[in-house]
Amino acid sequence: MPDTSKRLAGRLALVTGASRGIGAAVARRFAEEGAELILVARTVGGLEETDDAVRAAGSRATLVPLDLADFPAIDRLGQAIYERHGRLDILVGNAAQLGLLQPIQQIRPEEWQQVIDLNLTANWRLIRSMHPLLMESPAGRAIFVSSGAALEPRAYWGTYAVSKAALDMVAGIYAAETRRGTIRVNILDPGRVRTRMRARAYPGEDPMKHPAPQDITDAFVDLASAECRRHGERIDLTVPRPA
């Protein structure tokens, strides 16, 4: 029997980019809150490390080594989840790629496509595949991880910024289309977090000035809980919420 004292007890969550950084931290925290996990990432070793943490928290995970740019594989994953569980309670679209920071006119077409495929199109394909499963949950929740780079033009951040701005729009449209149902869709901008991606983007800064991934997981639990009523919001963790 699920431990009903935990906020995500008995809930099934799919987390992408779960091998490290924010995705791994969210998976560990969800496990501590009683969720069963489906963990998706390309790196098998990283997934296994996250799985160890999930098991230590007393939960269990299904590991899915998957390149999310393999779009038909996302559809197969949705079918497999349906056959095994019949539903999905929580979708966390976290996986992302920074790409090269360079003048937009110098971006190679293949580089552009790789970033757009992972950061944008894969999330749309996840929505397409997982929506019927979220509909089967009494309290389906979808959380998409964005960035401040989506909010205004920023020199040299071309593909990443474009992909995140477009993801915000996709998630916003999905929220508008589900506003009358039981699914809640939100966008989460974690701000400056001590991740490998952040270190690549800002190699000269002191990473210890920023919170670690595990320090921001409260917001994910709030949005993933069955009690959450927030919907269609873009939540920026650097902006305090009014009391």
**pLDDT given for residue 75 in this prediction:** 98
**pLDDT given for residue 165 in this prediction:** 98
Per the CB < 8 A criterion, the answer to whether 149 and 108 are in contact is no
**pLDDT given for residue 154 in this prediction:** 94
138: containing domain = 12-236
Asked if residue 2 has pLDDT above 80, the reply is no
Distance CA 124, CA 144 (A): 11
Per the CB < 8 A criterion, the answer to whether 220 and 143 are in contact is yes
Distance CA 192, CA 98 (A): 14
Q: Is residue 70 part of a domain?
A: yes
Q: Is residue 3 part of a domain?
A: no
11-23 confidence digits (pLDDT tens): 999 999 999 999 9
Asked if residue 137 has pLDDT above 80, the reply is yes
**pLDDT given for residue 241 in this prediction:** 61
**pLDDT given for residue 59 in this prediction:** 97
Asked if residue 1 has pLDDT above 60, the reply is no
Q: Is residue 197 part of a domain?
A: yes
Q: Is residue 7 part of a domain?
A: no
Tell me which of 1-5, 121-125, 171-175 is least confident: 1-5
Asked if residue 136 has pLDDT above 90, the reply is yes
Annotated active-site residue 174? The verdict is no
**pLDDT given for residue 217 in this prediction:** 98
**pLDDT given for residue 5 in this prediction:** 84
**What is the percent of the chain where pLDDT is above 70?**
97
CA separation (Å) from 162 to 31, 92, 144, 149, 236?
33, 20, 15, 8, 18
**pLDDT given for residue 239 in this prediction:** 75
Q: Is residue 226 part of a domain?
A: yes
CATH number at residue 68: 3.40.50.720
Average pLDDT over residues 116-129: 98
Distance CA 148, CA 165 (A): 9
Average pLDDT over residues 137-143: 98
- Kindly name the residue from 156, 160, 174, 202 that is annotated as catalytic: 160
Q: Is residue 184 part of a domain?
A: yes
**pLDDT given for residue 105 in this prediction:** 97
178-234 confidence digits (pLDDT tens): 999 999 999 999 999 999 899 999 999 998 999 999 999 999 999 999 999 999 999
Q: What angle do CA 30, 32, 38 make, to 5 degrees?
A: 40
Q: Is residue 4 part of a domain?
A: no
Asked if residue 104 has pLDDT above 70, the reply is yes
Q: What are the beta bridge partners of residue 64?
A: 40
Query: How many structural domains does the chain have?
Result: 1
